Each structure stands twice: as structure tokens, then as C-alpha cells.
């Protein structure tokens, strides 16, 4: 059984947020939606990053970033305050008071959380698998009488392995522009080279996308085409056409 839970989405954070320390929320617009004529001005820049006729040669590491990104690191006090707030939200599902659980280490929300939480929950007696925020139960969904114990195990695992708040801050303008360029120059051409056409009718200009990113007018998420693929096809395509630029590029050093 496959379920997507609010708790899982709170852990598997990837991109921009409405406040500086909240997980990002993607709202991919469907391919059939009409574009805003005032913003549908496409500016394609940069050379092709790989031979479009030779799909096997596509490599996201060959894409050259358009800007250099350096994220702001939070102080230890800010990190602890973020963790306190995060765990307070996690505790909403508990039947009793939240236990004191020591932090074992911060985990990267994009590259570690799924695996670490899956292993922790499985070690706690609740075998689960997490993939991009979706929780599956290989042995079946826990019965109602185990829900309280499941929630306690989930809280404990999140407390032991808390997402690193440095990576859940709002995107900067540089990061927004970088992702736009990556989608425009690499992701979309890569998808099309592998037989997955991406409708650019909704693509705004780079400047419009940046200025509208934290408003309701933000509607362009071409990486949603990857999510719509069958699971086996998506798993084959993700390594060569990742939804986002490499972490070392997006977050900097």
C-alpha cells in the first residue's frame, strides 16, 4: 500500500517556502493549463549541454551553472529553534506528551531523509519505504491499535534524524534563476531527447519567473512531467534528467 502523509511531506523537503524556515511547497501546473499571455515570453540561453541525438550521453554534471550560489548558514541557536518548532508540529499526532529525544545528527532533506527515516522506522518495528515523501508499507498498513505506537516511532525517528534547516530556507533569487536556467537549458532538452516532450506554452521569461516565484502566479514546474511518468520509467530517467540541478550547484559549497 502506498500513502502520502503530511508528516512525510514535512520531512522530505526540496525547494522554496513561503517563510524562511518552512519546507517548500511545489504546485506543479498541469500541462493543459492555459498560459498567461503577458508572461509567456521564453528566453532560451546557453548551448546544448549534450548531443540531442545521442540520449545516452546526457549527464547533468556536464551542465554549466549560470550563477554561483552560496547559501546563508544558520547559527546554532537558529538551528535549535527550527528543530524545536519542527518537532512541535510532529508531536501533534502523539497521544501523550512528546518525549525528550536527543538529536543524533542532522540529515540532508533531499538526499538522506527518505533512506534514513525508512531504516529508522523499520528498526523500530514498523517496516516502511519512503520515496519522495510517499510512504509504502511492504507488510501492510499498521492496524488501528498500533497507530499510537507508530506515531511515537515516527516522532522519535524525526527527532533523532532531523532535517538540516540550512537546506529548507527560502530560495534566493540566484537559486530561482539557476533552476530556471537548468530547466530551460538542460532538463527540458534532456526529457525531449528521451522521448518525453515538455509543453513550453506556460514558460514565462526568466525575470517574470523570479519576480512571481513567491506569489500565487508561480505556476511553471516543468519537472512535474517527470513525476507523471510510470514509476519504472521515471526511475530510469531521473539519473540523466534530474528534476533539479545537482546539490553542489544549487546550494553551493
pLDDT tens digits for range 58-69: 999 999 998 888
Does residue 16 belong to any structural domain of this protein?
A: no
- Both 80 and 193 in one domain: the answer is no
User: 3-class DSSP state for residue 183?
Assistant: helix
Q: pTM (2 decimals)?
A: 0.67
Query: What digits encode the pLDDT tens for the residues 104-119?
Result: 999 998 889 899 999 9
Does residue 136 belong to any structural domain of this protein?
A: yes
Does residue 19 belong to any structural domain of this protein?
A: no
Question: From CA 53, how far away is CA 195, in angstroms rounded?
Answer: 11
Does residue 3 belong to any structural domain of this protein?
A: no
| Domain total of the chain | 2
Does residue 24 belong to any structural domain of this protein?
A: no
> Structural domain of residue 108, as residue ranges?
76-167
- Both 206 and 99 in one domain: the answer is no
Does residue 23 belong to any structural domain of this protein?
A: no
User: Hey, which residues does 161 pair with through a beta bridge?
Assistant: 105
Question: Which residue, 63, 1, 20, 9, is CA-closest to 167?
Answer: 20
Query: What digits encode the pLDDT tens for the residues 217-245?
Result: 888 999 999 989 998 999 899 999 999 99
Amino acid at each position: 500500500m502506498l500513502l502520502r502523509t503530511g508528516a512525510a511531506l514535512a520531512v522530505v523537503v526540496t525547494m522554496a517556502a513561503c517563510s524562511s524556515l518552512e519546507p517548500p511547497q511545489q504546485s506543479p501546473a498541469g500541462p493543459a493549463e492555459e498560459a498567461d499571455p503577458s508572461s509567456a515570453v521564453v528566453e532560451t540561453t546557453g548551448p546544448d549541454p549534450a548531443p540531442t541525438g545521442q540520449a545516452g550521453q546526457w549527464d547533468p554534471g556536464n551542465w554549466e551553472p549560470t550563477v554561483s550560489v552560496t547559501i546563508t548558514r544558520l547559527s546554532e541557536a537558529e538551528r535549535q529553534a527550527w528543530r524545536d518548532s519542527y518537532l512541535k508540529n510532529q508531536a501533534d499526532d502523539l497521544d501523550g506528551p512528546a518525549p525528550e529525544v536527543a538529536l543524533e545528527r542532522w540529515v540532508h532533506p533531499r538526499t538522506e531523509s527518505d533512506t534514513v527515516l525508512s531504516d529508522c522506522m523499520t528498526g523500530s518495528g514498523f517496516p516502511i519505504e519512503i520515496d519522495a515523501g510517499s510512504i509504502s508499507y511492504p507488510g501492510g498498513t499498521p492496524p488501528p491499535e498500533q497507530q499510537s505506537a507508530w506515531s511515537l516511532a515516527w516522532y522519535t525517528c524525526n527527532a533523532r534524524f532531523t532535517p538540516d534547516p540550512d537546506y529548507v530556507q527560502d530560495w534566493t533569487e540566484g537559486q530561482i534563476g539557476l533552476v530556471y536556467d537548468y530547466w530551460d537549458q538542460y532538463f527540458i532538452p534532456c526529457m525531449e531527447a528521451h522521448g518525453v516532450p515538455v509543453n513550453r506554452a506556460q514558460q514565462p521569461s526568466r525575470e517574470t519567473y523570479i519576480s512571481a516565484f513567491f506569489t500565487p502566479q508561480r505556476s511553471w514546474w516543468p519537472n512535474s512531467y517527470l513525476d507523471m511518468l510510470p514509476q519504472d520509467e521515471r526511475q530510469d530517467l531521473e539519473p540523466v534528467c534530474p528534476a533539479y540541478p545537482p546539490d553542489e550547484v544549487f546550494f553551493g559549497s
